[in-house]
Each structure stands twice: as C-alpha cells, then as structure tokens.
Structure 1
Amino acid sequence: MFTFGTSAYLKMISLNAKPQRTEVRKRLIPSDDPYDFHRSLRPLANRMLAKGEDVESVFESASRISATPERNSVQAGLRTLLLWRDVHTADLFEVKPHTHTSPQEIFRVKFTADFGTIIDGKRCGVHLWNTKKPVIDARFSTATLSIIREFYPELDGLAVLSLIDSSLIWSSDETAYADLGRRLMTRLENVILSVEEEIRDSGRDRPSPPSHPTPII
C-alpha cells in the first residue's frame, strides 16, 4: 500500500481517465529519484507563516532554487499567499495531519493542513495547492475534503487554497459529498488494480516500495 500526499491525490482525481492511468503506472513503477516539483513551497510557506520568518529571507531562499520552472512557481505561489494573508489576517494555529485509508486498503491519503486559521468566522485547516495542470476539480476536491472533515470535530471545515487564482475550495457537511468522495476512492482503487494487472501481464514485476516511503505532496 502506498500513500498519496494531499495535492498528489487531488491531482490524481482531477485527471481524465488516460492520463490518470499513466500517473498510476508511474507510481507503481517509480523512478529511482522521483522529482517533486512543489517540494520547496511548503517548507518556505511554513517559515513565512508559522515561524514568522522575515519575508525577504524566505524569498532569498526561494531565489536559490536551481530549477527555473520550480523557482518561478514557488515565488509566484508565495507572492499569492502573502496577498491572501493581507486580506485574511486572523491568527494561525496548527492542525494535525490525518491519514485516510481507501475502502479496500489499496492506498492511503495523508491530509496535511499547511496552517489553520479563521475564515469568515470558521475555524478551518487550509491545504495549499500550487499546480496549474491539471486544473483542480472543485467538486471532487470538496468530496475528498468532506470525507476527511469527519476526523476533525474541533474544526468548522477544511479548505484548499489555490495559489493559482486565490480561490478557496471548502469541505461540505452534506452527506452526498462524502459519499462521492468514497466512490472516487473506490474508482481509483479499481484503476490501480487494473494497471497492476497490466504490469503483471507484461512480465514486469512491481518493485518493492521503500521501507519508509515519503508521500509526494
């Protein structure tokens, strides 16, 4: 069983059928050194928000990212986050992570809130999204958040903050959304099992996962 980080899972369920199967195959037959395009954003955002580090110092660190596309993406995301925080100035608090297992125990999704805050009077955990393609599926994301929301009784909701356009996607207390979220997990389980069968039929064994896998966020 492998683990998706929050953004990796939201990306997976936002993909159309064919590219989704391609991404699943990449997860089942990983490269020796998988590259996480957004690996730098979260620690820098944490330094800037949770730790209150000087903004210039954080951007100076971002400027040292060697890969130009990643550097540009991170810098743009941090600028959007700063503008968003100028409008939403409530205090921040920590939200514990939660790992959710799919119905047939084929995979796990680790939900990680980058910060907790109060938005429109609601205590919520916020996960940052900074991926241009695919475009995040708001309905599917709401469904996923609505499943995980059940494990945070101390909060009024969960949200994904898109650093692409500053939009917020919220969880919902409507049962229909949680039901959809579970169906999406089952659908992805079926895709994973199907791709695994293709790999076996092709004579290529699935490699053993690392002993302590780190979810790609």
Structure 2
Amino acid sequence: MSQIPKFGFSAFLKLLNTNPKPQTRLVRERYRPSGGGYDYHKSLRTRVQQVAFGELTPQQALDSTALITKHSERESARRGLKRFFEWQQQNPGTLETTDGLLFTSPKGLYKVEFTANFLLELDGRRTAVHLWNTQHPLSGQLVRAALCTVATRFPEHDRPDDIAVLSLQDGSIYKWSESDRQIALLGERLLEFLDNQFEVARTELGLPASPEGPSPQP
C-alpha cells in the first residue's frame, strides 16, 4: 500500500496556479520520501496568531523575527506581518479560532487540508481566512474555485458564513462568496484534473493505480 499525499491549502493553491511542466514535477515530488519538510511560513503564521489572540503586541511580533535564523525567512515574515497589520487596521474586529477541513480527492489519490488562520467578520459574514505569503502569482478565478471545493465539503452546521484567502504579497482578498456556479464547477474539474495528474505520476513511478492496491510486479 502506498501513502496518499496530503498537502496544505497554500500548497494546493500553488499547485493549481503553476504551469503544466512544473506542475507535473510538483505532483511527482509528492511521492518522494520526506521527513516532513520545512515549514517556511510557520514563523509568520505563529506570530499572526499570537498577535490575534493577545499573546504579543504587533511591535513585539516584529521584534521577535530577529530570532529567525534564515535571512530570507526572517525578511518574508517581517514583510508579511507588516502587511497583515496594515490590513487589520483597515478591517478591525475580533479575531477568533475556527476548525479546518481535511478532504480527499474524488479518486482518493490525494488529500487537501484547509486551515484558517483566524475567523473575522467581514462585510457582515463570519469569514474563515487563510493567509497566503508565497511569492507566486495567483489567479483570482483559480483561488475562488479552490475555495468552492472547501466550502461544498464543509458540514453545513460547522461551515463559516464565508471562506477567504488573504494575500500578504499584495493585500488582495479572495472570497468564496464572490463565486458563482461556474466557478464552483471549475473547482470540481480542477480536483479531477489533479487526480489525473496523480494517476499518471503513480504509473510513471511504478506505484499501484490505487493507494489501497498491491504494488506492481517487477
């Protein structure tokens, strides 16, 4: 039995917003042995939540980035924090925690985990917000399609009023509520498309067609 690849929502967005050739490489990399990988953006997310829930002041959070060893990670965290604080000033309100969601692709070949960094009322809706701080261009249409795949799988009694991605690269915010039926349909097609990509990768790497199936004979 082979492992089912699982990735977070930012990795999912990056995969969807990547051109075909590098996208194929990223899919194949999901089957490589890994010790868990290094979470480059954990330092930013941790500090955002510490500020959001009163553990640190914004200035303390910025000052604490001096403890981050890697220069590129330190600078990325500082930029992201500054942009988050600017956005928060324009969108004041009480930040809360909220549950995430783990779901499996239609063919069961990969899993996606949506994690909200906080819940905040925006435009009268309790909105679960996921932070994006990767230097990779995003298509608003693809982001909203991805948000639809999350929203339609949330148990209705637990689902926030809205789900969004806030880009700390340029301050853009993408919301599920801005989507229509065509965007929702695109989201389902993207899940199926990635399933096909993972299927091809399994064949090329000599893995069984199904994660539950036996490995092919040499």
TM-score with structure 2 setting the length = 0.86
- Segments of 5+ residues of structure 1 without an aligned counterpart are 209-217
Among all aligned residue pairs of Structure 1 and Structure 2, give the percentage whose two residues are the same amino acid.
33
Residue 128 of structure 1 pairs with residue 134 of structure 2: no
Q: Give the alignment partner of residue 15 of structure 2, picking from 12, 15, 21.
A: 12
Q: Secondary structure at the match of 2:38?
A: coil
Question: Distance between the aligned counterparts of 1:67 and 1:79, measured in 2?
Answer: 18
Q: CA distance change for structure 1 residues 171 and 33 in 2, over 3 Å: closer, same or farther? A: closer
- Find out whether 1:195 has 2:198 as its counterpart: no
The question of whether the paired residues in 2 share the 8 Å contact of 1:50 and 1:115 is answered with no
Structure with bigger RCO (C-alpha 8 Å, 6+ apart):
1
- Give how far 1:116 is off: 0.6
Match of 1:22 among 25, 46, 58: 25
Across the aligned residues of Structure 1 and Structure 2, the Cα RMSD in angstroms comes to 2.0
Aligned residue for 1:165? Answer: 170
2:184 matched residue in structure 1:
178
- Comparing 65-74 with 27-36, greater Cα deviation is found at 27-36
**Do 1:5 and 1:110's aligned partners in 2 also have CA atoms closer than 8 Å?**
yes
Task: Give the 4+ runs in structure 1 shifted more than 6 A.
Answer: none
Alignment partner of 1:41 is 2:15: no
- The equivalent of 2:216 in structure 1 is none
Q: Identify unmatched segments of 5+ residues in structure 2.
A: 212-218
Map 1:38-187 → 2, pairs under 5 A: 38-133=41-136, 135-150=137-152, 151=154, 153=156, 154-172=159-177, 174-187=180-193
Instruction: Deviation per CA, 1:152-171: give whole Å up to 9, x if none.
Output: 64532111000001110111
Q: Counterpart of 1:66 in structure 2: which amino acid?
A: T
- The number of aligned residues is 202
TM-score (norm 1): 0.86
**Aligned-partner SS, 1:58:** helix
From the superposition, tell whether residues 27 and 112 of structure 1 become closer, same or farther in structure 2 (CA, over 3 Å).
same
